[in-house]
Amino acid sequence: MKTPNILLTRIDNRLVHGQVGMTWTNTLGANLVLVANDEVSVDSIQQNLMEMVLPEGVQARFFTLEKTIRIIGKAAPHQKILLVVKTPQDVLTLVEGGVPIKEVNVGNLHFVEGKKQISPTVSVDDNDIATFNNLNALGVKLEVRGIPNERGFELMSLLKNG
């Protein structure tokens, strides 16, 4: 399998929104935003909303996790990919499926009942913590950062101090 040119993998509950669409794609120089999410892969309304916030010339693809695993290796070298998923569990599924993810930007995990807030934008429950520990054990670097010009924080140290 060829190694796809994944510039960044981002976890964000909201997937692609204004901030991600513009700021991250421009900063990274991404020309393809790949949203790996089973629900959105079949929801044209959400897809249209996400495509609207992308800069001119940036393409979007909406694949299931399974399809992402199956075809990301076929990406052309000129495709500079920003891979966006909703949960840490999605990242683990992709990594275990063979997607070569070395680094993850943990952008946004909303607070809901039963989760513990570890940064202004990231809240985790026991399942999330176990998943992040798994990813860390697999050698994936995990950084909490909302936007590119913010200082990032190493997620595992936030979990230890949380």
Q: Which residues are marked as active site?
A: 17
Contact assessment for residue 103 and residue 28, using Cβ atoms and an 8 Å cutoff: no
Nearest in space to 35 (alpha carbons), one of 146, 49, 78, 134: 49
Using DSSP bridges, classify how beta strands 6-12 and 103-108 pair: parallel, antiparallel or unpaired: parallel
Between CA 10 and CA 18 the distance in angstroms is 14
HSE-CB at 126 with a 13 A cutoff on CA atoms is 1
